[in-house]
Structure 1
């Protein structure tokens, strides 16, 4: 802790890595997380159409990560918006979620020519905050003033957590980047957990820190070759166990409890990877079932994979995907509705919107395993 000239105390973390105790519990948690992550990565390598799973996973993560920060947009809101239809959810909330998709897809593409670095972090933040709440908070630029974490109305004096002052933050960010580039010095999942915690402790932006921090988990694992496709996301786990998430982050700062944080993070990786594997199986089985049901309908099969990228359809999208005329597209949509694949959701004569309800459910609510939580 440092005492500032303004009279409040701020936390300045020690450089990474800390001295770690590889207890039996930690070793077992690391082994389980590694195994689940490797299985998920292997699945990503053999998918007949990786985009079939990547699109729904990315969008689901965007919704859940943004929800942790208070947005109200649902997966349906995002998908309907992408289909070009209006939603009742505030436009700013939907735009924040769309920005998350843009930032994640940009980061994955950028890794081909730029390593994870402070430069890439700034580029991610700029895209995340473009045109939404917090856009006043210097998108893409590290903060030049003090911030703090606390309930509305709190101040640096009363807030439960005050990140480092600007000068100390800049120095710590340089050390964080050096740690980010270390290779072969520790298990990669341990390094990922330490990287994420430290970024949250530094809180280097005026807004959007949590979302950037969660983006970095996926990008780190892709860069290190631990994920063949962007299929692992921890936001659902964090949202379910949000109190534990903040408790363990704070316990590192107040008590140096790295063990508790690492166990939480590794359990989150195991849980999230296992859940993603089950969801992938459901989506693949559903795809094959749909292909069989629609095999006899001309021009229908090219639409099946498109349903898994976005299960909402309007006639124009069918025209764009198949090259048929507008009347033929409308006839095709009626045939898919009669086959039980689509359902019209507006009840209107014009401006009809169709949804593949089974696909949407599999995307939004992957099946539960009653034994998945220990």
Structure 2
């Protein structure tokens, strides 16, 4: 269908400091991209675009409806997977051991803490939209959580930007930038308009999520963190519309598998080709949901495998820990003792036996805060991302 294109304006460039190359210092004007208001625009599709959206809704609904007793741990697993993949798109990358240490307060790298912050931001957004309308305050709160680990970025977090930003090009000016979003004085009105669009119920769900994300990225309302908050917005729209109630579709893994294609589709949206981005997200939802079903089956088989490896006694501390590992795949001694309800010594012996059996791995040897992980669960994070990548590339 016809969708309005971005318009472009030439504006004076008046930097407060003269830094960079001679070309940076000589820059006098820039061309900014102005997204159209979309709050009241109608969107409809037909043919293959409509069919792709229907297939996506069916795939997500099937994932949401399945797996019974394992739905709660699957929901947590998928949420973690989505946040980690979204972070990797921004080159924020930590292995699962580092991420595991960060998740229970252990010593961790900056990237691991940033990944954990992305999890918290995503939780905040989907929980808030599950209770009521999406608001700008919801986005600002999530952005504050996301930026918390970075001392310098945290000072500007939770606020719409008041400076011009850009993507690519020079570190000092927008010269040769790939994309220059609207000037800061236009951001509040554009975000208010976006909130109108996000809270509508008369737009097809997948299209609404896709367009909301593309519009958000085009506004680029924050100085940093736009990609991760924008991708979390997709999950928030799906939760707001009731397509998901517990699970998070790991869409960022599709985007991570081919970032060039993802960014190209965003560029096409700005040229008025919204259908292409809607179809892209619909296809991503199908691939991600089908791969997530495979991970769900793999996870559901783990408790039986762990019992076979450890051969725990009935009603023992070992059995109690195994029973809870899908829900709590990363734990310290205090968490384990809460699960077992036994003494410190009994809990430590159980943790030791499960480690010797290969059910757990000690991922932090700190005397003050030892941390164990069910390695099979965390390794499945990589397996899911790889499975989605294979599905994505095979359908290009």
* Alignment-derived partner of residue 178 in structure 2: 160
Residue 4 of structure 1 aligns to a residue whose secondary structure is: strand
Q: Would you say the 8 A contact 1:279–1:362 is kept in 2?
A: yes
* Alignment-derived partner of residue 4 in structure 2: none
| Structure-2 separation of matches of 1:207 and 1:336 | 42
Q: 1:15 to 1:304 in 2, by over 3 A?
A: same
Q: 1:56-67 residue pairs with structure 2 within 5 A? A: 56-67=77-88
Residue 9 of structure 1 aligns to a residue whose secondary structure is: strand
Cα deviations across residues 42-62 of structure 1 (Å, max 9, x unaligned)?
12xx52153312222222222
Residue 365 of structure 1 aligns to a residue whose secondary structure is: helix
2:139 to 121, 125, 145: 121
Of 289-298 and 7-16, the range deviating more from structure 2: 289-298
| Structure-2 separation of matches of 1:33 and 1:84 | 37
Q: Would you say the 8 A contact 2:60–2:243 is kept in 1?
A: yes
Q: 1:27-66 residue pairs with structure 2 within 5 A? A: 27-43=50-66, 47-66=68-87
* Alignment-derived partner of residue 34 in structure 2: 12
Q: 1:325 to 1:277 in 2, by over 3 A?
A: same
Residue 69 of structure 2 aligns to a residue whose secondary structure is: coil
1:136 Cα deviation from its structure 2 partner: 5.0
- What value does the CA root-mean-square deviation take over the aligned residues? 2.7
| Structure-2 separation of matches of 1:345 and 1:166 | 44
Q: 1:31 to 1:323 in 2, by over 3 A?
A: same
| Structure-1 separation of matches of 2:127 and 2:42 | 34
Q: 1:1-374 residue pairs with structure 2 within 5 A? A: 1-6=8-13, 7-16=29-38, 22-43=45-66, 47-87=68-108, 90=109, 92-111=110-129, 113-132=131-150, 135-136=153-154, 138-153=156-171, 155-184=173-202, 186-253=203-270, 255-291=271-307, 294=311, 296-297=313-314, 298-344=316-362, 354-366=372-384, 368=387, 373-374=394-395
Q: Would you say the 8 A contact 2:72–2:246 is kept in 1?
A: no
TM-score (norm 1): 0.88
| Structure-2 separation of matches of 1:351 and 1:174 | 45
| Structure-2 separation of matches of 1:346 and 1:173 | 43
1:357 Cα deviation from its structure 2 partner: 2.8
Q: 1:167 to 1:244 in 2, by over 3 A?
A: same
| Structure-2 separation of matches of 1:119 and 1:242 | 29
Q: 1:346 to 1:177 in 2, by over 3 A?
A: closer
| Structure-2 separation of matches of 1:136 and 1:349 | 31
Cα deviations across residues 7-58 of structure 1 (Å, max 9, x unaligned)?
2111111122667673522122112211111101212xx5215331222222
Number of aligned residue pairs: 367
1:351 Cα deviation from its structure 2 partner: 7.5
Structure 1 residue runs of 5 or longer lacking an equivalent are none
| Structure-2 separation of matches of 1:343 and 1:139 | 36
| Structure-2 separation of matches of 1:189 and 1:144 | 31
| Structure-1 separation of matches of 2:235 and 2:226 | 15
TM-score (norm 2): 0.83
Q: Would you say the 8 A contact 1:21–1:259 is kept in 2?
A: no
Q: 1:332 to 1:11 in 2, by over 3 A?
A: same
| Structure-1 separation of matches of 2:10 and 2:294 | 49
Cα deviations across residues 104-137 of structure 1 (Å, max 9, x unaligned)?
2223333355421212111111111123165256
| Structure-1 separation of matches of 2:387 and 2:154 | 41
Q: Would you say the 8 A contact 2:85–2:252 is kept in 1?
A: yes
Residue 95 of structure 1 aligns to a residue whose secondary structure is: helix
Of 286-295 and 24-33, the range deviating more from structure 2: 286-295
